Structure 1
Amino acid sequence: MLPILRDVRDHKTTRRGFLGLLGVSAAATAGLAEPAKAQAQAAKDLKGWTAALGDGLYAAKGQAPVTASDIAVEHVGGYSRLRANVNRRGIMAHVIAYKKVTGSGLMRVTHRGGYAFRLPVPAVNGTAQTVEGGLFVWDGHLDHGTAFQWELNPWLTTFGQLSVWTGDAWVAAGVKKPDTAWHTVNYTVTPAKKTVQLVLDGRKLPVPYSTTPKTGWGTGVAARLQAEAISVFPGAHATTAPSHEVHVRNWNWTRN
């Protein structure tokens, strides 16, 4: 089973292709043209965010392909729930919730964003694959920013590993034992200076400034703050698999 899981994990190193769904405006073609006005946004839950199906997907033999009906983002008062594999099928599902802004000046400002999140304690009889998040700015050619991944599958030797995005792969950045407490993550991205910072529960992770080339995303400039959950890999012949749920609250995002 572990070699299969490792293959799935390696597949995720090329992820973050979902921005093709974002519909970036082609009108904003000069990301370095002018600074955007200082703005601040914040809320208790993720109302107004967009839910999307990510690319960390797998369907066991005999299972229908993973679709948007296998994920959900629900607002329950004071926080939102990101749910992956809601029907407990023999699949691995990937839910993404993101807040998007557009504007030609977004490459000239510093983005500071974050939120609190919590997750269930993974166990071998009811577990998850990862929780992830990040902040990125697409300049029309490259995706600039930072992201983290927390491994939650206790079948793997990398259970509890923290990884960060380099632009083409996830690399190990530490270990943190999963629990049910609320955690905070804060991202800082300054494209003009090519600097980033990622702080998880007050701990700075060793993150590189990542740039990721993509095709088919358009030439418009867009930034997004995102939170993600991937349900556990079920095995090649599974008929059922656990659902995965992450709670998110108190998000904030300033641009100045």
Structure 2
Amino acid sequence: MPVTRSESGTNLTNWIVNVGDGNYNAPGEAAVNSADISTVNQTAESVVKANILNRRIMAHNITFHRITDPDALVDTHVASYEFKVPYTIATSNTDFNGQTVEGGLFVWDGPTTELDYGLAFQWIINPFDPDYKALRYWDGSGWQSLGQDLEPDNDYHTAEFQLDIPNEEAYFKLDGTSFAQNIFSETTKTGFGTTVDARFQAETISIYPPATGTIPSQKVNFKDWSWEWSNDNPA
């Protein structure tokens, strides 16, 4: 299938940093805002951070690359990056602990359906959570099990996203292993505009804050991303 667009990078330079929707603020805490997240671009990687001020909140950092192009709805997409948790996950770690590592590939159809088509994964890394280590996928309205856990370590893992909107197919691959489920999703959104916008996303959510004691920050490293579009009948 002829390639119609190909982009890549070592880090997430020029990606957009945005507060996501997976946020919480404890009573007495101000709502989560852009000052609670950051993405730091280093030479060989980027560090996606959440709850950098150690507030009694749960903050969602979505860092994404956006391409506005109507061909995004008809082209086939293959995108990948590497990610790692750069600290030791443990109930005793009061400096760093997170709720999730997440990522996704979506195309927003603003002119016609006003639906967000795509796929996303979620890895639960909160060591206090009963679903600790679980991998999940987004079904358009909530998170569902992929039927597999990922053991925490300090190694890089490769996530690959495959999206074919005309055939309503989406598949996720982790460290070279493909999941059999078709995890194509359609999600309603508000305030997303009237253009066709494709988004490749790197995300993390900070840990749900304890009632007392130190509140950890959260960080995840991402590097070596690529995004290829292809079409048998390019315009």
Common fold by TM > 0.5:
yes
Distance of 2:194 and 2:100 partners within structure 1: 31
AA in 2 matched with 1:96 = I
Displacement after TM superposition at 1:163 (Å): 0.2
Displacement after TM superposition at 1:37 (Å): 7.7
2:142 is aligned to 169
Count of residues in Structure 1 that have an aligned counterpart in Structure 2? 220
Structural mapping, 1:12-31, within 5 Å = none
Distance of 2:40 and 2:130 partners within structure 1: 32
2:191 is aligned to 216
- Point out the structure with the larger strand share: 2
2:155 is aligned to 181
8 Å contact 1:61–1:238 — kept in the other structure?
A: no
Distance of 2:212 and 2:3 partners within structure 1: 51
Distance of 1:79 and 1:106 partners within structure 2: 27
8 Å contact 1:90–1:238 — kept in the other structure?
A: no
Distance of 1:207 and 1:133 partners within structure 2: 16
Distance of 1:177 and 1:227 partners within structure 2: 20
Displacement after TM superposition at 1:62 (Å): 2.6
Distance of 1:246 and 1:45 partners within structure 2: 12
Query: How large is the Cα RMSD of the aligned pairs?
Result: 1.6
2:107 is aligned to 137
Displacement after TM superposition at 1:187 (Å): 0.4
List structure 1 runs of 4+ shifted beyond 3 angstroms.
237-240
2:35 is aligned to 69
> SS state of the match for residue 89, structure 1?
coil
Distance of 2:13 and 2:107 partners within structure 1: 21
With over 3 angstroms needed to count, the CA separation of the structure-2 counterparts of 1:233 and 1:46, relative to structure 1, is same
Displacement after TM superposition at 1:239 (Å): 6.4
Displacement after TM superposition at 1:238 (Å): 4.1
Structural mapping, 1:107-126, within 5 Å = 107-119=73-85, 120-126=87-93
8 Å contact 1:89–1:241 — kept in the other structure?
A: yes
Instruction: Confirm or deny that 1:81 pairs with 2:47.
Output: yes
8 Å contact 1:89–1:240 — kept in the other structure?
A: no
AA in 1 matched with 2:194 = T
Deviations 1:199-226 (A, max 9, x none): 0111222242111122332331110100
Displacement after TM superposition at 1:245 (Å): 0.4
Instruction: Confirm or deny that 1:196 pairs with 2:196.
Output: no
> Which sections of structure 2, spanning at least 5 residues, go unmatched?
231-235
> SS state of the match for residue 35, structure 2?
helix
> SS state of the match for residue 48, structure 1?
coil
Task: Give TM-score scaled by structure 1 length.
Answer: 0.82
8 Å contact 2:59–2:205 — kept in the other structure?
A: yes
- Which of 233, 238, 249 is residue 208 of structure 2 equivalent to? 233
With over 3 angstroms needed to count, the CA separation of the structure-2 counterparts of 1:39 and 1:101, relative to structure 1, is same
Deviations 1:49-105 (A, max 9, x none): 000011111122332222111110001211000011111122111111000001122
1:153 is aligned to 126
> SS state of the match for residue 69, structure 1?
helix
With over 3 angstroms needed to count, the CA separation of the structure-2 counterparts of 1:224 and 1:216, relative to structure 1, is same
Deviations 1:98-139 (A, max 9, x none): 000011221110111110000033211332100000101111
Identity of aligned residues (%): 37
AA in 2 matched with 1:150 = W
